[in-house]
Structures are given as C-alpha cells and as structure tokens.
Chains A and B, each alone.
Chain A
Amino acid sequence: MIWGRLFRLPWRTSQQIKRDVDEELRFHLDMRVEALAALGMAPDAARARALREFGDLEDARRYIGAVDRDIEAAQRRNDYMRDLLQDLGYAVRKLRAAPAFTLAAIATLALGIGANTAIFSIVHGVLLRAPAFPQADHLVRVRYSQQGHPDVSTPMDIVDNRTHATKFVGFSILEGMTANLVRDGADAERVPAIRVGANFFSLLRVAPLAGRFFTDGEDQAGAPKVAVISEALWRRDFGASPSVVGKTVRINSAPFTIIGVVARDNGYPFSSELWVPKVFSPDELNDQSRGARWLSMLARVRDDVDVSVADKDIEQVSALMETKFPEIFRERRAHLSTVQEYTVGDVRKPLLIMLGAVAFVLLIACANVANLLLVRATARESEMAVRTALGAGRGRLVRQLMTESVLLSLCGAAVGLAIAKIGMTELLSRAPQSVLLMTRATIDATTLGVTALIAVVTGLAFGMLPALQVARNDLTSALRAGAGGVRSKPSANRTKRLIVVGEIALAVTLLTGAGLLLHSFTKLLSVDPGFKPEGALSLKLSLPPRTYGSTRTRNFVAELESRTRALPGVRLVGLSNMIPLDGSSYGFTFVIRGRPPMRSSDEPAAEVRVVNPDFFNAMGTPVLLGRAITIADRPGAAEGIVINKAFATRFFPNENPLDQAITLAWGEDSVPVVRPIIGVVADMRGNALAEAPDPTVYLSMAQHPMPGLSIVVRTERDPASLVGGLRSIVRDLDHEVPVYSVQTMSERVASSLGRERFFATLIAVFAAVALVLSAVGLYGVIAYAVTQRTRELGVRVALGASGSRISRMVIGEGVVLTGAGLVVGIAGAASVSKLLSTFLFGVSSMDAVTLVGVIGTLSLVAVLASWLPARRAARVDPLAAMRGD
C-alpha cells in the first residue's frame, strides 16, 4: 500500500476480498506445485505435498478473509475522515473567500437558532423537566370545583379523603400565610410562608439540607412551635450557618424553633421560604365547619397506581360526600393535577405557541440562507463543472456542498448560543411569576444538544436544494458558458421565488399572531380599572392576630392613618383589607332580606372588603348612589354596607339598592346581622383587568378591624418619595411588623398585565425578526433577478422604455411575490390565530384592524425591498449592458 497512501484505492466489497484471498492462496499452491514438478515429482503427488506443507488451508482462508475485512473497514473510516477534513478545509477557504455572504448567512442563522435555543431552554426548564422530587409525577394537587366554579378545601376534606380514598400515600393541607419573621438584631421581614401537615415533607420525599423535618404529632395542638426554612432564606438571613438548627425566631410575634433547612428546588410551593405545621382547632374539624373553605391540598398517589386511577378514586370520595351533605356539597367534585401542571397551567399553552412562533422564525432564516446558497450555487456552476471534469463524482460534490451548509449552520449555532444566553437573561427578567417559579431554565447539556441538532438539521435542510441543483447540472453547457457567469435555469429561479413566497407567508402568519396579541394588549391597557392609578402609592402589612385583638388593631389603624396623613405631600389615606388587582379573593355567601331562603350551596356570594372612610377617595373611585363609609360608621353604630355596581346590577336590577339589606355568612355574622345598603360605588377590577368585576361588599373598618392591611396613599408628589416615611411610621408602631408589596398603583396595573405583556412582546420581537428576514429575502431575489436581466433591461431601455416604466416592472414583480405570500399567509394565519383566541381580550381571532395592519405593513415592506433594486434597474446604461459583462 505504498502508493495507496497517495491516492485512494477503490473500496473492496467482501466478495472482492474473498476473491483476492482465494487468488493469493491459489498462486502460492500453484508455485509450489510447479517447483516440485520441476524436481520431477508427479503432478498429483506434488499437489498433495504442497497442500500438506501448507497446513490448514480452510482455517487460513477464513482467518485471512476476516483480517482483510478489518483492514478494509479501517481504510474506509480513514477515507471518510480524510474526505471530511478535506471538505472542511475547502469549505472554510470557500466561506472565507466570500465574507459578505458568510456573514449574512451566519447572522441570519444565529438569529434563528439563538431564538430557538432561548425559547426551548425555557420550555424545557418549565414544561419538560419534572420538579426535583422523587416520582414527581405522582405528587398532585387536589382541586375542587363546585357547580362548575373552582372551589377550595375545608379542613374536613382532608379527614374525608384520608378515610375514604385508597390510592394515596397521604394528604397534606396547604395554607398560605403572611409570615412576619423577626430574628434578633434585624428588621422584621415578610417572607412567603405556608402551613402544612406534619407529613408534608415525607410526601415530597426529600431529605433536609440540615436538621430535620416535621415529625408526627407536630401538627397537633400543644406541640412545640417549630419551623423549617428554605435554603435561600438560610443563606440570606443566617449566613448558611449550620447552627441555625435549634435557633429561635419570632414568626407573627410568636417564638418558633427552626428545626431544618430545605434544599433549593426541594421545597414546595416553589416560592415558599418558610414552613410551619398547621394546627387545626377542634371546632374546625367537625361536620358543621364544612362550609368554611380556604385551604389547598397536596397529595401523593401510591407508586403502583396511575394518577388517572387515583383521580377517579378522589372524585368518588367527593361524590360520596355530596350524598352525605347534599346541601353544602352539591355538585362538588375533586380532581387531581400534578404539581407541575398546577404550577405551569397558565403558561403552558402560550409557551408552546411561542415555541411554534420561534420555529417559524427559524424556517424563515433557513429559507433566506437557502436562497443565498442558490444564488451562490449558480455563480459556482463553472467551478463545479471544472471539479466534475477533474473527476469528482456528483455524490462527492453534493457532500462538499452539504459540508459547507452544515459548517455555516454550526457557526450560526455558536453565535446563536451567545444570543440565546443574552436572550434568556432578558426573557427571564420579564417573565411572569409562574415561569419564574420554575427558575431552573438554563442552557444545559440537553438544550446544547438540541441546539446542535437544530443546527445540523437546519444545515441539511437549507443546503439540500442548492446541492440537488448541482447534482442535476449539465457539465458541458456549464463549461461552454465559461467563467463569465452562467444564465441560471428557469427552474432555479422558480425555486427562489417559491421560497420567498413561503417566507412571506410565514411572516404574515407570525405578524398576524403578533398583531392580535398586541391589539388585545392595547385593549387591556385601555380598560378602566375603576380607580385612578396615577399619584397613588400602596403597600401591605399584616398584624399578627395572636397579639392583635380588635381593640389593639383599631388603635394601630387609627394611629397609622393619622401619622400617614401628617406626612408631607399626603392628601388622602385609604385603608382596606385587600388591594385591587391583587388576585386574592375573600368571598362569602349572603342572604338578601325579604327573599325566599335557598339551600346553602345556591346562596349568592360576594367579595368582602373592609375599608376606612377615605378609601374610595384615595383610590379615586366615585360613589354612584347614597354615601361612602364615613367616620359615623363607628363601633356600635348601625352596620351599613356599601356595594359596588356589579353587585347592584346582579342582585337588584329593578330595585333601588338603597332600600335593600343583606345578611352575610361571615365570621362575625354567625349571629346574623342585617346590614342595610347605604351606598353604591363604581366597580374596581379586583382580580385582573381582563376579568369582569365581582359583586363586592364594603364594610366599615372601624366596625370590623382586620389584621391584613393595605394602605393606599394619594399624593401630589412622586408616590415613590413617600416610601421611606411610611416604612418608618410602621416600624415605630411595631418593629415586628414588616411592610411589603410596596408599589405605586400604576405599577400594580402594569404588573397585573405581566403575562400578557411578556407574551405580546415576545411574539412581537419574533414577528419583527421574521419581517426583516423576509424583506431581506425578497430584496435578495429581486436584486438578483435585476442583475441577471441587465442585458434584457438594457435592450428595453434602448427600445425606448422609460426608467420609471422599468422600475414599475421590477417593483411589480416584488408585489406579485408578496401578494402570493399574503394570500397563503392569511389562510395559514386564520387557522393559527384560533389557537390564540383564549388569550385575546376584546379582539376576535379574525380581527379586521390586525389583518389590515399586517397587509399594509407587508405591502410597504415589499415595495421598499423591491424599490432599491428597481432604482438600479432604471439606471441601467443600455450601451454597457449590451456590450456584455
């Protein structure tokens, strides 16, 4: 193989190897027989002797054949590698020789691949990767619904489930709480906390990072007060010291002993930083308490049971309870969703839609690069022809071109990763809460692998067309046409045009989606929240009920109100138990005076708010009828209530509400108090701007002091300038009560639209990229067509066509392509926008404004993209054009 190293030997099949082995052995035996015959031996004897001398001929034949096949295989591997290196070297030289093309292609691909990697990383981190608990798919939330409306749990639910359900390892309640955490020598801090059953961490199946978790009986009355903290809290407040175990802290003004630390990702709910056992009082656990519902429930399904089976099981338990308590549990059912589904429920579909949108961007990027390559392939026809003439096979040329494509897209992927990294940081800084809760979205081995896969597939996809075109090339005509440039075949031009039409169609679909979401978003922005957000600051605090009785609370509120009013720049101080747009609910059923009694499950329900006299003024919410709460509504006075407009229209459509009264099924109403309606105020959006306001009842705070407080301060100054003063007032009043959720009302309005803004921005960015890419693609095709037709255009000019006529012709071509893309794209958009319909507010999925906008934008872009080449065409000098290249 001395020469074999210099140029490649043809590959041998195993048949050929067998023949070669046979020939070599036959040669040996023949030579030996001849030599023996020359010594005078008879031919037969000579043959026998030669065979004897040889030994085991068949064994040798087999062995040699096998060894030779090994050699052949190694040789092939070598050749492949050498070809690949050769192709790569050649590709690098070729790409460096055309830097403008290379940069354009890499930039386009980097955008497409980068955006895909970023979105995929988030989708992977949020939707695909299970939470870090063992058998996380068997860890479920028990969700109740009654008569089609979502419901929550009552303490007895857990008793019922433990008694009757058979497919579960166990149940634990979850009760969200505000924890005012005080450790010695530090300011009080408000941490997200949760009360759970003692079995909670054993349901999660996690081990403590330090210390221990709750043990049986620690959720029983009289047990010592213990708490578990999150790793984040441990590092932030306790310097990650192991001696934190056994330390005493004050939580809502009661001493608790820290017994353990939960590792990051091992805690649930994901946002929680503090866990304490939930201790039920005996009067919460009896058949009379089933109406009071405020809890959530976690459960673990047995490992050997499918979640869908357990779902049937729990549903049957709820059906059983309905038969036992038909009055209060009418049509109340329980169902399961895994903790992952539960957490990502509201972002799952939009995230998947974004993944689809970003795939469109990648497709458009591929189309652009394919077109660039097609143009290049035409320019390289003579090079390819020469290489063919020098003996390169078509397969070899196709492989060469594919190597170039994949190399391009790998370069694009490398740059794209940088884009993805930056994009992810940007995205996550704007992401809504439910995405952030699963913050394990990172660029890791899986997403890198997916990126690499996308890059290779992308490279193959956009490299395929030009490579196939080369494979079809006719050698002689290409050579004959010479180096001056080959007229590309009509079929190649048709391909380029089809690609551009496809690109525009994809862009139209994306633009329509983006337009719909943006239009819907502007509609949301223009929703009247029912209050004046500008010039108002809000914050929350929570008094520990253990140390704050009603008198102390009343004093605290009075003091807070008067001191805040004394702050410079403060005009009005509103106080309420809840702030609008907070997403929290505090609902109770009620009975309207003079109407026939109903069964309890059919009673109407309303949100209950407790407010001070200035609350409506501070919010900027007008009183429509009667009066607001005033200082006259003090303890001992008649307990009048104010209702909102939604309440009035729902329950008193034909009556004067001021003549009506209701009885609330509220804690303090256990001795029913008939509450006359004294006023009607405008509706405030309580949950979200997109949701119709709930019927709401406002009570006097002086009559009903509540531990949870929200303060709204209206000021002429910059609202943010009041924060320091307010904080120090609260710290003076009680240093164990931290202030939290400090936001101007405008910020609250903005952040209530966080999810909508996030997805609308995201898809708008994708649509913008798609628009730019397809404009560039259109420009490329038209510009190339112009250079190809220089001679023809010259003739036309010489025959008297005016410059403007020529540009109209060229622009006309761009408009035709765009028109075709628009028609296809709008058809596609019609089906895609149905997916978006659940995310649209006040906008139909075939929104005329959006469609007109999309068509207008695209037509404008198309005219612009063809105008540049058209200008060049109009300036063609007929003499130069006809003289030749």
Chain B
Amino acid sequence: MVREPMDLLQGTLDVLVLRTLAWEPMHGYAVSRSIHQRTDGVLEIEDAPLYKALHRLERAGFVAAEWGVSENKRRARYYSLTNAGRRQLKAEETAWRQYAEAVFKVLEST
C-alpha cells in the first residue's frame, strides 16, 4: 500500500473531488476544470495531486472508475461516486462546516 501523510490540502482536495463527482460521473480532466472554475482559480490546484486523490479515493472505495468514451470520441476514464463515497462526502462536509464556523468565530470576535 502506498501512503502519504494526510495534510490539510489533501483532505481539502478529497472533499472537493467528492463534491464535484456528486453532480455526475466525469473524467479526470472534467473534474480538474470544474474545480478550477468553481474556485475561480484561487486555490491553484495542480493536476498531479488531483489525479492522486482520484485513485486514492478509488482504492478507498469512495469512487468507482470505468473506461468510457469522451465528448470528443476518445477513450477516457470516468469516475463516479459510490454509496460509500456519498456517505463520506456528507461526513466530510459536516466536519468542514464545523471547522469553518469555528475559524470564523475566532476571526469575527475582535
């Protein structure tokens, strides 16, 4: 098994990927563009960690991958959220909201 230390970015990236796939199954390039657009490029996420996250999530059973045909008729690997992934997304979302609220409370208390 290949493991990397969990850090904030990786955790964040996992949530973003899961959230993106929640709308519909898509290939890696689409996930990348979608996150890029929705964050207005603020997070400047590179594609390498994104792909690592996709495969890591597949190994964890949160996403499933399947070869399909892209909009320009090329073979592409499509990712979709599994039931376990949906549950994970819900849990991570809750955790993120609590985290964000706590940070805001500190920032706004001045």
Whether the Cβ atoms of A28 and B48 lie closer than 8 Å is no
8 more A-B residue pairs beyond the given contacts A20-B77, A24-B76, A67-B2, with a C-beta to C-beta distance below 8 A: A25-B51, A27-B27, A27-B77, A28-B32, A54-B46, A54-B48, A67-B55, A71-B59
Most interface-central of B48, B49, B70 (chain A CB within 10 A): B48
B56 within 8 A of A: yes
6 A-B pairs closest in CB distance: A55-B46, A55-B48, A1-B64, A60-B48, A54-B47, A67-B55
- The verdict on A70 contacting B29 (CB below 8 Å), with A2-B66, A60-B48, A63-B52 known, is no
Q: Say which residue of A20, A27, A57 sits within 8 Å of B74 (CB atoms).
A: A27
* B1:A70 contact, CB within 8 angstroms: yes
Interface string of B52-73 (1 = CB under 8 A from A): 1001101100001111001010
Residues of chain A within 8 A (CB-CB) of B52 are 60, 63-64, 67
Nearest A residue (CB) for B33: A35
CB distance from A374 to the nearest CB of B (A): 45
- B46 near A64 with CB under 8 A, answer no
Contact B55 A27 (CB under 8 A): no
CB-CB under 8 A from B2, the residues of chain A are 63, 66-67, 70
The interface residues of chain B lying within 8 Å CB-to-CB of A68 are: 55
Main secondary structure of the interface of A (DSSP, over half): helix
Asked if B46 and A31 sit within 8 Å, CB to CB, the answer is no
**CB of B80 within 8 A of chain A?**
yes
Chain B residues contacting A4 (CB-CB under 8 Å) are 64, 66
Residues B46 and A53 in contact, CB atoms below 8 Å apart:
yes
Query: Whole-angstrom distance from the CB of A647 to the nearest CB of chain B?
Result: 86
Give the A-binding residues of B (Cβ under 8 A): 1-2, 27-29, 32, 46-49, 51-52, 55-56, 58-59, 64-67, 70, 72, 74-77, 80
Task: Quote the shortest CB–CB distance from A377 to chain B (angstroms).
Answer: 40
User: Is the Cβ of B46 less than 8 Å from the Cβ of A70?
Assistant: no
Q: Give the docked Cα–Cα distance between A747 and B27 (Å).
A: 91
Which residues does chain A contribute within 8 Å of B74, judged by CB atoms? 27, 30
B66 near A56 (CB under 8 angstroms)? no
Contact B66 A3 (CB under 8 A): yes
CB distance from B37 to the nearest CB of A (A): 12
Main secondary structure of the interface of B (DSSP, over half): mixed
Is A28 a contact of B80 with CB atoms below 8 Å? no
B64 contacts which chain A residues (CB < 8 A)? 1-2, 4
Provided the pairs A28-B29, A28-B32 are in contact, do residues A53 and B66 lie with their beta carbons within 8 angstroms?
no
Q: Are B51 and A60 in contact (CB under 8 A)?
A: yes
* 8 Å CB contact of A67 from B28, B56, B80: B56
Whether the pair A64, B29 counts as a contact (CB closer than 8 A) is: no
Say yes or no: A64 contacts B59, CB within 8 Å.
no
> How many CB-defined contacts (below 8 Å) exist between A and B?
76
Q: Considering the complex, give the chain A residue whose CB is closest to the CB of B78.
A: A2
Contact: B29 with A32, CB < 8 Å?
yes
Residue among A28, A54, A56, A74 facing the most chain B CB atoms (10 A cut-off) = A28
Question: Does A23 have its Cβ within 8 Å of any Cβ on chain B?
Answer: yes
User: A1-B66, A53-B46 are contacts. A24–B1 as well, Cβ < 8 Å?
Assistant: no
Chain A 31-62: CB-based contact to B (< 8 A → 1; otherwise 0): 11010000000000000000001111101100
| Contact residue among B47, B55, B58, B70 (Cβ-Cβ distance under 8 Å from A55) | B47
Determine the distance from Cα of A3 to Cα of B78 in the docked complex, in whole angstroms.
Answer: 13
CB distance from B59 to the nearest CB of A (A): 5
Would A70 and B59 be within 8 Å (CB), given that A27-B74, A28-B28 are in contact?
A: yes
Closest to A34 in B: B72
| Interface set, chain A 806-864, CB cutoff 8 A to B | none
Please name all residues of chain B whose beta carbon is closer than 8 Å to the beta carbon of A3 when the two chains form the complex.
66
In Å, the complex CA distance between A810 and B65 comes to 65
- A623 to B70, alpha carbons, bound, how many Å? 116
| A70 CA to B60 CA, complexed, in Å | 10
Query: Please, which residues of chain B bring their CB within 8 A of the CB of A64?
Result: 51-52, 55
A-side contacts of B1, CB under 8 Å: 70
Chain A 63-100 residues near chain B, CB threshold 8 A:
63-64, 66-68, 70-71, 74
Of chain B, the residue at the smallest CB distance from A73 is: B1
B47 pairs with A31, CB closer than 8 A: no
B93 to chain A, nearest CB (A): 23
